[in-house]
């Protein structure tokens, strides 16, 4: 699943796409008012190395992007991305006290791309797009359509968009897959506020249904009922340090996202500032705020330096927990212990009836039932992240630029009970070439 916050989610297995359309629309809203006025054809190459501390996950990405004017009213754009992922990721198992958390080693690759054509007719631009992403255990096909309408002497642009994704989710080693589908609807406005200022505002509504669980994540299930303590059931391993059941998320999610951004230029110092804020809410109970600030400073004639800072905060999903307190063999029923806390039997078993248990020689315990949904995936916990770094752009030639970037990414849990070492810190290195022809 290709999350909108890529660096936050690469520590899980799936690279795919919760919505390829959402990513494409974000690019359209930011780039459309600037690139539509440029007749230049462009091509870009990026290499990115995302490397988590402690030899956890490493994702190496090669991507190319192009824009080519086929006709004075038709522009084609497309991209191809190859991701290579390897490393260990937490499964959700807490591990033994004082020892490492439970993890699984994963190695995989993803190939993805999109193609679109922007067709201009009068004051409107229509952009159909097709996108595809594939890895060994995830396939995603995305279709989208955006309509941009100019008003106010092209100083105001209304953008409407709709997207549909068709995904197949599996796990390495499985011989079957599950369906997952998403819809996204967007309405946005790009507004020129003055000769030096451009603002963007948009609202996205998204609905996903089908298999929304991460097949590589599990949860610990063990019964602990004071004063009797944990016990060994007759049919189930109740080790409290491993994942012994697959996580279970709801099979639908409705999200709402509000985004606003502004760019202002300062000619006197040859600089500009980009600021943005993103609000996210969904019916899983996650409420998130993301703010980013970037300064672009022109130095000398061919050098631009762009430091950035990004902050993200989110609440936990309603069903997030690190453990389910029950025993699947007897969930929702009553069991009996003798006075030495040895398990005797459960209600309904042959030869044992709770009603006939001698209270003087037995303790009768009601085993909690299973919750409807549960996940120990730390990415659904209450957390905050910090991203800070710098990008340097050097004009090597009139039509060729070199881009170098470094970002530091740090994630911190805030709930007070999830293991702090499950949250990754990472360094992100980027190298790129931009060509105009």
Q: Could you tell me the sign of the dihedral formed by the alpha carbons of 175, 206, 10, 296, in that order?
A: positive
Element (H, E) at 271: strand 271-282
The answer to whether 162 touches 149, Cβ cutoff 8 Å, is no
Give residue 8's pLDDT. Answer: 34
Strand runs labelled E in 300-399: 303-314, 323-324, 334-338, 343-346, 362-366, 383-397
Tell me the pLDDT band of 6, cut-offs 50, 70 and 90: very low
Give residue 237's pLDDT. Answer: 53
Q: Which of 11-15, 59-63, 309-313, 422-426 has the lowest mean pLDDT?
A: 11-15
Nearest alpha-carbon partner for 182 in 379, 13, 1, 5? 1
Tell me the pLDDT band of 27, cut-offs 50, 70 and 90: very low
Q: Is 48 exposed, middle or buried (0-12, 13-18, 19+ CB in 10 A)?
A: buried
Q: Residue range 348-353: average pLDDT?
A: 61
Instruction: Report the distance separating Cα 343 and Cα 340, nearest Å.
Output: 9
CA distances from 280 to 71, 137, 162, 270, 285 (A): 39, 28, 18, 34, 10
CA distances from 369 to 276, 333, 425 (A): 45, 8, 37
Instruction: Report the distance separating Cα 127 and Cα 147, nearest Å.
Output: 6
Residues 6+ away with beta carbon under 8 Å from 340:
none
Instruction: Report the distance separating Cα 286 and Cα 355, nearest Å.
Output: 45
Strand runs labelled E in 53-137: 58-71, 74-90, 103-121, 124-135
Nearest alpha-carbon partner for 248 in 209, 215, 284? 215
20: pLDDT strictly greater than 50: no
* 106: phi then psi, degrees, rounded to nearest 5: -130, 140
| Each residue's pLDDT tens digit, 174-204 | 989 999 999 999 999 999 999 999 999 999 9
DSSP state of 374: B
The answer to whether 276 touches 291, Cβ cutoff 8 Å, is yes
DSSP state of 96: S
Q: Residue range 23-40: average pLDDT?
A: 47
Return the higher-pLDDT residue of 79 and 96.
79
Instruction: Report the distance separating Cα 287 and Cα 289, nearest Å.
Output: 7
The answer to whether 355 touches 362, Cβ cutoff 8 Å, is no
Query: Structure tokens of 112?
Result: 């993805």
DSSP state of 241: T
Return the higher-pLDDT residue of 24 and 357.
357
Give residue 17's pLDDT. Answer: 44
Give residue 345's pLDDT. Answer: 74
CA distances from 114 to 29, 61, 183, 187, 227 (A): 17, 16, 17, 21, 59
Q: Could you tell me the sign of the dihedral formed by the alpha carbons of 414, 417, 419, 420, in that order?
A: positive
Query: Structure tokens of 387?
Result: 């991203």
Return the higher-pLDDT residue of 431 and 231.
431
Tell me the pLDDT band of 10, cut-offs 50, 70 and 90: very low
Instruction: Report the distance separating Cα 116 and Cα 273, nearest Å.
Output: 29
Which residue segments constitute the domains of the chain, with CATH numbers given? 6-216+247-322+377-436 (2.40.160.50)
32: pLDDT strictly greater than 60: no
How do beta strands 362-366 and 400-413 pair? unpaired
421: pLDDT strictly greater than 60: yes
Instruction: Report the distance separating Cα 273 and Cα 297, nearest Å.
Output: 9
Give the three-state DSSP class for 278.
strand
Instruction: Report the distance separating Cα 252 and Cα 335, nearest Å.
Output: 35
How do beta strands 42-52 and 58-71 pair? antiparallel
The answer to whether 260 touches 200, Cβ cutoff 8 Å, is yes
Give residue 228's pLDDT. Answer: 52
DSSP state of 32: H
380: pLDDT strictly greater than 50: yes
35: pLDDT strictly greater than 50: no
Q: Residue range 283-288: average pLDDT?
A: 98
Instruction: Report the distance separating Cα 57 and Cα 378, nearest Å.
Output: 15
Residues 6+ away with beta carbon under 8 Å from 413:
378, 381, 382, 383, 419, 420, 422, 423
Give residue 356's pLDDT. Answer: 62
Q: Residue range 382-399: average pLDDT?
A: 96
| Each residue's pLDDT tens digit, 47-85 | 999 999 998 999 999 999 999 999 999 999 999 999 999
| Average pLDDT along the chain | 87
| Each residue's pLDDT tens digit, 314-348 | 999 999 999 998 887 788 888 777 777 777 777 77
Q: For the chain, what is the radius of gyration of the CA atoms?
A: 26
Give residue 207's pLDDT. Answer: 98
Q: Residue range 146-165: average pLDDT?
A: 96
120: pLDDT strictly greater than 70: yes
């Amino acid at each position: 699943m290709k999350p909108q916050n890529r660096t936050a989610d690469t520590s899980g297995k799936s690279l795919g796409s919760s919505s390829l359309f959402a990513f494409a629309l974000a690019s359209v809203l930011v780039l459309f008012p600037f690139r539509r006025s440029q007749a230049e054809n462009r091509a870009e190459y990026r290499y990115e190395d995302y490397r988590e501390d402690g030899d956890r996950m490493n994702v190496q990405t090669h991507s190319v992007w192009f824009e080519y004017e086929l006709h004075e009213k038709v522009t084609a754009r497309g991209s191809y991305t190859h991701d290579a992922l390897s490393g260990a990721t937490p499964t959700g198992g807490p591990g033994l006290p004082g020892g490492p958390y439970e993890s699984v080693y994963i190695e995989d690759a993803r190939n993805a791309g999109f193609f679109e054509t922007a067709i201009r007719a009068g004051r409107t631009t229509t952009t159909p797009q097709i996108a595809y992403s594939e890895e060994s255990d995830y396939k995603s096909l995305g279709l989208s359509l955006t309509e941009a309408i100019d008003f106010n002497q092209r100083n105001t642009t209304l953008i409407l968009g709709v997207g549909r994704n068709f995904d197949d989710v599996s796990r390495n080693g499985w011989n079957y897959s599950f369906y997952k589908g998403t819809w996204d609807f967007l309405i946005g406005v790009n507004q020129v506020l003055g000769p030096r200022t451009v603002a963007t505002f948009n609202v996205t509504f998204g609905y996903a249904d089908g298999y929304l669980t991460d097949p590589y994540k599990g949860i610990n299930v063990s019964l602990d009922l004071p004063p009797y303590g944990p016990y060994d059931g007759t049919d189930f391993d109740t080790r409290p340090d491993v994942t012994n059941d697959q996580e279970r998320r709801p099979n639908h999610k409705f999200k709402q996202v509000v985004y606003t951004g502004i760019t202002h230029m300062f000619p006197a110092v040859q600089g500009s500032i980009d600021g943005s804020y993103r609000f996210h809410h969904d019916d899983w109970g996650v409420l998130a705020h993301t703010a980013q600030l970037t300064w672009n400073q022109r130095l000398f004639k061919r050098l631009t330096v762009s430091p950035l800072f990004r902050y993200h905060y989110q609440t936990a999903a309603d069903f997030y927990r690190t453990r389910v307190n029950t025993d699947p063999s007897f969930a929702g029923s009553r069991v009996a212990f003798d006075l030495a806390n040895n398990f005797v039997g459960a209600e309904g078993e042959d030869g044992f009836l709770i009603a006939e248990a001698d209270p003087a020689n037995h303790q009768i315990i009601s085993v909690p039932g299973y919750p409807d949904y549960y996940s120990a995936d730390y990415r659904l916990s209450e957390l905050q992240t910090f991203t800070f770094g710098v990008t340097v752009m050097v004009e090597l030639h009139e039509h060729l630029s070199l881009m170098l970037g470094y970002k530091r990414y740090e994630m911190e849990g805030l709930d007070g009970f999830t293991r702090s070492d499950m949250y990754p810190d990472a360094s992100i290195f980027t190298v790129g070439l931009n060509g105009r022809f």
